[in-house]
C-alpha cells in the first residue's frame, strides 16, 4: 500500500522536524544550564566549565541534537538538571495521571455527545434541538479554567460532593482516585462535548436525509436501530477527525486543568520545569507531547479506513 508508506515517511519527517524544533527552542533560550545545575554558590568558572564539558554543551547545536536524538530514540531523555531524576522516569510517573483525566474526559464527552447530537438531529428544528444547540453554543464560550472554577464552586464548595484539589493514586484507593479525577475530567469534557454534539448533529442531519435512511425506515426498523445502527456511522467522520485530534492533545492538553486542581500530571511537570528552568525536563516533556500529537494523528488516519469500508477497499466504487 503505497499510501501507507507515504504517510509513514511523512510521519518520520514530521517527528524529526518537531524534535529538532523542540531541541532548538530550549537550546536557544537564555541562561546557562550549567549554572543552574550547580546553583549560584557552586557556580565557579571551573565547575561550570566541567559541567559544560560533561553535558557537551560546547558542541555545535547540530551535533548536540544528533546526540540527544540518538539517546531519545533509545528512551533516554537525559536527567533533570534539578533533581537528577531521569526525564523518562519522571514523565512515566506523571503520564498515567494525565491519560486518566484525558481519557475520562473523552469518555464522558462522547457518552453525552453521541445521544445528545443524535437526538438533536432527529428532532432538528424542534424545541429540544434548539435548547441543545444554544446550550452547547454557550458552553463553547466557557474556557476550561472557567469551567473548572464553576465546577469547584458548585460541586466542591457548595455541595461538597467532590474534592476541589488533591490526587490519590489509583493503586491506593480507586474510589478516591475517581473522585479526584472527576472534576478535572469534567472541566475538560464540557468543552469537548459541546463541540462533539454540534458536529454530530450537523452531520447526522445530512445523513438522515439520505435514501439509505428512508430505505431503513421503509424496512420497518425501530427508530433506535435506524439512528444508531444506520445513521451514526456514516455521520461520525467529522466527529472522529476531531476526536482524533483531541486524543493527540491529551498528553499536553491538561496543563491548565492540572494546575488548577493540583493534579500531578505531565502538564504540571511541564509548567513546574519551565518555572524551575529545568531545560532537560522541558525538552523531554515537549518532545513527548509533540510526538504524541503526531503519532496519534497518524494512527487516526489509519483507523479511518476501519470506519469507512470504501476507504478500506481503496475507494473502488463511485461514491
Size of the site for other proteins (CB under 8 A): 87
Q: Which is nearer to other proteins, 88 or 253 (CB)?
A: 253
Q: Is 152 in the site for other proteins (CB under 8 A)?
A: yes
Between the CA atoms of 255, 256, 257 and 259, what dihedral angle is there, to the nearest 10 degrees? 90
Q: Which stretch binds other proteins (CB under 8 A): 72-80, 111-119, 148-156, 170-178?
A: 148-156
What's the min distance (Å) between Cβ of 316 and other proteins?
6
By CB under 8 A, name the one of 234, 240, 299, 300 that touches other proteins.
Answer: 234
What's the min distance (Å) between Cβ of 20 and other proteins?
10
Grid coordinates representing 315? 475507494
Q: How far apart are the first and last CA of the chain?
A: 21
Q: What number of residues does the chain have?
A: 319
Q: Which is nearer to other proteins, 51 or 152 (CB)?
A: 152
The per-residue b/e assignment along 275-304, b for 16 or more CB within 10 angstroms, e otherwise, is: eebbbbbbbbbbbbbbbbbbebbbebbeee
By CB under 8 A, name the one of 3, 4, 215, 303 that touches other proteins.
Answer: 215
DSSP SS3 for 168: coil
What's the min distance (Å) between Cβ of 173 and other proteins?
25
Between the CA atoms of 122, 190, 135 and 222, what dihedral angle is there, to the nearest 10 degrees? 10
By CB under 8 A, name the one of 66, 103, 142, 170 that touches other proteins.
Answer: 142
By CB under 8 A, name the one of 229, 262, 302, 303 that touches other proteins.
Answer: 229
Q: How many helices (H) and strands (E) does the chain have?
A: 17, 0
Q: Which of residues 164-203 bind other proteins (CB under 8 A)?
A: 164, 188, 191-192, 195, 199
The per-residue b/e assignment along 37-61, b for 16 or more CB within 10 angstroms, e otherwise, is: bbeeeebeeeebeebbeebeeeeee
Q: Is 269 in the site for other proteins (CB under 8 A)?
A: no
Q: Which of residues 236-265 bind other proteins (CB under 8 A)?
A: 238, 241-242, 245-246, 249, 252-257, 259-260
How far, CA to CA in Å, does 313 sit from each of 12, 301, 309? 26, 15, 6
Q: Is 308 in the site for other proteins (CB under 8 A)?
A: yes
Amino acid at each position: 500500500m503505497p499510501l501507507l508508506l507515504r504517510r509513514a515517511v511523512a510521519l518520520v519527517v514530521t517527528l524529526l522536524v518537531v524534535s529538532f524544533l523542540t531541541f532548538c527552542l530550549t537550546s536557544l533560550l537564555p541562561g546557562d544550564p550549567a549554572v543552574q545545575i550547580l546553583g549560584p554558590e557552586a557556580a565557579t568558572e571551573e565547575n561550570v566549565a566541567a559541567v559544560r564539558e560533561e553535558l557537551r554543551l560546547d558542541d555545535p547545536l547540530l551535533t548536540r541534537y544528533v546526540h540527544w536524538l540518538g539517546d531519545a530514540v533509545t528512551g533516554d531523555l537525559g536527567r533533570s538538571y534539578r533533581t537528577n531524576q531521569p526525564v523518562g522516569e519522571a514523565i512515566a510517573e506523571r503520564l498515567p495521571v494525565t491519560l486518566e483525566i484525558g481519557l475520562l474526559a473523552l469518555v464522558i464527552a462522547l457518552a453525552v455527545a453521541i445521544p445528545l447530537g443524535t437526538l438533536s438531529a432527529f428532532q432538528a428544528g424542534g424545541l429540544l434541538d434548539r435548547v441543545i444547540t444554544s446550550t452547547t453554543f454557550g458552553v463553547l464560550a466557557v474556557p476550561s479554567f472557567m469551567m473548572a472554577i464553576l465546577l469547584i464552586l458548585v460541586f466542591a464548595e457548595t455541595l461538597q460532593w467532590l474534592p476541589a484539589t488533591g490526587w490519590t493514586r489509583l493503586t491506593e484507593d480507586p474510589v478516591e482516585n475517581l473522585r479526584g479525577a472527576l472534576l478535572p475530567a469534567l472541566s475538560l469534557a464540557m468543552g469537548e462535548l459541546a463541540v462533539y454534539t454540534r458536529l454530530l448533529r450537523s452531520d447526522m442531519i445530512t445523513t438522515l436525509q439520505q435514501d439509505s435512511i428512508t430505505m431503513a425506515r421503509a424496512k420497518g426498523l425501530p427508530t433506535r436501530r435506524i439512528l444508531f445502527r444506520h445513521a451514526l456511522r456514516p455521520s461520525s467522520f467529522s466527529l472522529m477527525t476531531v476526536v482524533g485530534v483531541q486524543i493527540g492533545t491529551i498528553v499536553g492538553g491538561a496543563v491548565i486543568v492540572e494546575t488548577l486542581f493540583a493534579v500531578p500530571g505531565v502538564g504540571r511537570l511541564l509548567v513546574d520545569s519551565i518555572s524551575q528552568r529545568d531545560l532537560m525536563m522541558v525538552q523531554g516533556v515537549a518532545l513527548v507531547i509533540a510526538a504524541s500529537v503526531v503519532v496519534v494523528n497518524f494512527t487516526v488516519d489509519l483507523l479511518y479506513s476501519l470506519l469507512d469500508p470504501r476507504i478500506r477497499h481503496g475507494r473502488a466504487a463511485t461514491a
